[in-house]
């Protein structure tokens, strides 16, 4: 059976084909993260146990408070590690890095905080009845090997190599800086990449054509801009793209 893939157009206009992570990759990444959060929770319990024996902790009430505090911190670490890690690492937790995988949108960009929260809320369903049976069955039956949380959040897990990872990172950064659709983002970036290799008249023509379609303000008042001003306008659309 052919490997399922996700096609993503990079900012240079080259289409990347990313293999979709299957249940095996998902399990490997999840188990690695699970061991990390379990270890974190156990460390809090160990600290609480040691503090209860400290000379400054006297009386049953103080010892009880310390122990309850340790349990609360352990539970917070265990249950909030996954969503917090996904948000802080932009979809690439330590476990997923180990599995050479990451969470992306269907366009290949970095998921927003809302999408990552949603996919983690649906873990409550995906983990039913035990050991993520619902999630694993859904992964095996759906075209993109996604669980319910991914379906609702519009995300997918892909496997990445050393070359695709940086390209996806760059795409995600630029997508967060601009309101342009990913397809338009790629076209503008491609024009800026090839700017110095194009003839002056040709790049002005292309720049004006793109800006007319994508920039309402330019369409109304910017037709008289020269080449340098057009390039600046394109860079502003990308949210501050560096000159090439």
Rg (CA), the chain: 24
3-state class of 10 per DSSP?
coil
* Residue 14 in tokens: 């080259």
Predicted pLDDT at 228: 86
* Residue 170 in tokens: 């760059």
Predicted pLDDT at 179: 54
Predicted pLDDT at 88: 94
Q: What is the mean pLDDT, run by run of 10 residues, along the chain of 244 residues?
A: 66 66 91 96 94 78 90 96 94 92 86 94 94 92 93 92 52 53 67 80 84 74 76 76 42
All structural domains of the chain with their residue ranges: 5-166, 179-237
Task: Please write down the HEC assignment for all residues of 109-156.
Answer: CCCCHHHHHHHHHCHHHHCCCCCCHHHHHHHHHCCCCCCHHHHHHCEE
Q: Which residue has the tokens 């909030």?
A: 80
Predicted pLDDT at 18: 81
Alpha-carbon gap, residue 172 to 196, rounded angstroms: 25
Predicted pLDDT at 11: 45
Q: What's the pTM?
A: 0.67
Predicted pLDDT at 162: 46
Predicted pLDDT at 131: 86
């Amino acid at each position: 059976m052919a490997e399922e893939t996700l096609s993503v157009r990079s900012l240079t206009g080259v289409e990347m084909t990313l293999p979709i992570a299957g249940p095996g990759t998902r399990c490997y990444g999840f188990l690695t993260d699970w061991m990390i959060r379990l270890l974190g929770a156990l460390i809090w319990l160990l600290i609480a146990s040691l503090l209860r024996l400290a000379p400054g902790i006297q009386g049953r009430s103080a010892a009880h408070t310390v122990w309850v505090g340790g349990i609360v911190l352990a539970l917070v670490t265990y249950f909030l590690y996954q969503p917090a890690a996904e948000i802080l690492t932009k979809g690439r937790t330590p476990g997923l890095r180990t599995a050479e995988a990451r969470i992306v949108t269907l366009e290949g960009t970095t998921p927003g905080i809302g999408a990552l929260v949603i996919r983690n809320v649906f873990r409550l369903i995906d983990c039913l009845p035990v050991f993520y049976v619902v999630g694993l069955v859904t992964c095996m039956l759906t075209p993109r090997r996604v669980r319910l949380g991914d379906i609702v959040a519009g995300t997918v897990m892909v496997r990445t190599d050393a070359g695709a990872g940086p390209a996806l990172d760059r795409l995600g950064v630029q997508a967060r800086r601009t309101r342009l659709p990913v397809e338009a983002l790629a076209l503008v970036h491609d024009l800026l990449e090839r700017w110095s290799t194009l003839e002056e008249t040709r790049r002005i023509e292309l720049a004006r054509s793109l800006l007319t379609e994508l920039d309402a303000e330019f369409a109304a008042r910017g037709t008289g801009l020269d080449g340098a001003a057009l390039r600046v306008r394109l860079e502003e659309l990308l949210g501050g793209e560096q000159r090439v």
